[in-house]
Structure 1
Amino acid sequence: MQVTWHGHSTWHVTVGETDLLIDPFFDNPKTDLEPSAVDAPDYVLLTHGHADHIAHAGEFSDATLVATPELVSYCQEEFGFEDAVGGMGMNLGGTVECGDAFVTMVRADHTNGIMTEYDVDAGVPAGFVVSDTKPTQVADEDGAERSSADSSSGRSPREDSATFYHAGDTALMTEMRDVIGPHLEPDAAAVPIGDHFTMGPQQAAIAVDWLDVDYAFPQHYDTFPPIEQDSEDFEREVAATGSDAEVVTLEADEPYDLDA
């Protein structure tokens, strides 16, 4: 699995032969890319309907859209996604197969109205857990024996797979500790650190600790004055929790190989 951050909350995730683009918004200071320069994705995943997460969704209307049914309907009408192949409405707790990837929609604590001439209900805000294997509690033959480290956390090892959690816009929530971390088992998490509209560095660090991930990527910061942050503050906060996660502050548009 390869992940590429394009600034703000925009990520390109490649799983096998499948490309997924999450929250396309290229009007941010971290990237110089125009949407037209981005490799066409097979799927577009939208966490919620705010403008800084769907602004350039229409540039990729040939892809299959994955979002809440309400947001899919809105984007089909506004951006030209076709009904037949252009929308895969889903909801919290569901897992859908997207080519070589499995996408699970999880909670995010945020708002989700679209403020236009007529206020639009875009459903619930969400995050996504993207994996190259289907989530399961049943260990296969390779995972039948647990290492001592895995036994302590109750997890079965999945050395040949990778799982990436995009938290969306969210506050700290116990769902990360009680459901997403122990049962969906992300290896890496992209968490907002901008504060003001989402978690700041302190709460984002607690989220990383609860999730028990190996890698933590800061996102949703430095785009606008209210969310300007020093990512090193986030790194210090993660260390203060006692988490073993490695904080990786990515340069925009540079691929990062989770399998490596």
Structure 2
Amino acid sequence: MELTWHGHSTWYVDVDGTTMLIDPFFDNPKTSLSPSDVDDPDYLLLTHGHADHIGHAGEFSDATVVATPELAAYVEDEFGLADAVGGMGMNVGGTVELGDAYVTMHRADHTNGANTGYEHGLGMPTGFVVSDTKPTQVADSESTTFYHAGDTGLMTEMRDVIGPFLEPDAAAVPIGDHFTMGPWQAAIAVDWLNVDHAFPMHYDTFPPIEQDPQDFVREVAATGSSAEVHVLEADEPFDLGEALGR
């Protein structure tokens, strides 16, 4: 599994040739790319409807949308993205097979909506657990699993459900504070998730979320977690399978 962070919460994920773009927003200071520079993904995963997460969704019209039914309907109206997984999107708790990948949707603690001159409810904010094997109650030490937490506050489901049952090997967590977790709560999330690798995201895009990611590195260490924190340079691929020795 290859992961590429494009700044903010935008990730490109390649699972054995099945490609996914999560929360496309390239108007951020970390990336040097524009949407046209990115290979067209097979699937477009949208955690929620805030503009800094769907701002460039319309640039990927050939991708199948993976989002809640409410958000899938909204991006169809707003961007003409008519192709949604299952014909209508998916919802929290569900797992869908996408080519060689399996994607499980989990809730995030955040808000949702679109300010376009009217209030449009977009369903629950979410995160995604992406794996190369179907999740079951039988632990699979050979599977490779990545958790994109979306925009979220710290929540006990990370400790009680996502960590022990969905078993992510790696997690991307927001550290910007103000609108999401800051470094210390994000570090607790990493500890609860019991991941081997952690990536900070959703920081430095706007003044309210400017952060030194080394604060996050120190906070993770302070929890006693053995996770390795990677402060990535944007647009540089990270081979998760290789990092896990698989």
* 2:141 is the counterpart of 1:158: yes
* 2:39 is the counterpart of 1:57: no
* 2:166 is the counterpart of 1:188: no
TM (norm. structure 1) is: 0.91
Is 2:190–2:198's contact at 8 Å kept on the other side of the alignment? yes
Is 1:72–1:87's contact at 8 Å kept on the other side of the alignment? no
Structure showing greater radius of gyration is: 1
Name the amino acid aligned to 1:199. M
* 2:158 is the counterpart of 1:198: no
Report SS of the residue matched to 1:19: strand
1:118 Cα deviation from its structure 2 partner: 1.0
Report SS of the residue matched to 1:89: coil
Equivalent residue number for residue 218 of structure 1: 200
Alignment size in residue pairs: 242
Is 1:76–1:87's contact at 8 Å kept on the other side of the alignment? no
Cα shift readout 1:133-177 (whole Å, capped 9, x = no counterpart): 000013xxxxxxxxxxxxxxxxx3413x21000000000000000
Unaligned runs of 5+ in 2: none
> Map of 1:1-260 to 2, 5 A cutoff?
1-83=1-83, 88-138=88-138, 156-159=139-142, 161-260=143-242
Name the amino acid aligned to 2:30. K
Percent identity between matched residues is: 78
Cα shift readout 1:204-233 (whole Å, capped 9, x = no counterpart): 000000000000000000000000000000
> C-alpha distance in 1, partners of 2:71/2:140?
36
> C-alpha distance in 2, partners of 1:112/1:31?
25
Name the amino acid aligned to 1:70. E
> C-alpha distance in 2, partners of 1:84/1:169?
22
> C-alpha distance in 2, partners of 1:185/1:242?
19
Name the amino acid aligned to 1:31. T
TM (norm. structure 2) is: 0.96
Is 2:92–2:107's contact at 8 Å kept on the other side of the alignment? yes
> C-alpha distance in 2, partners of 1:88/1:63?
14
Report SS of the residue matched to 2:241: coil
Name the amino acid aligned to 1:258. L
1:88 Cα deviation from its structure 2 partner: 4.9
Cα shift readout 1:17-53 (whole Å, capped 9, x = no counterpart): 2000000000000001010010000000000000000
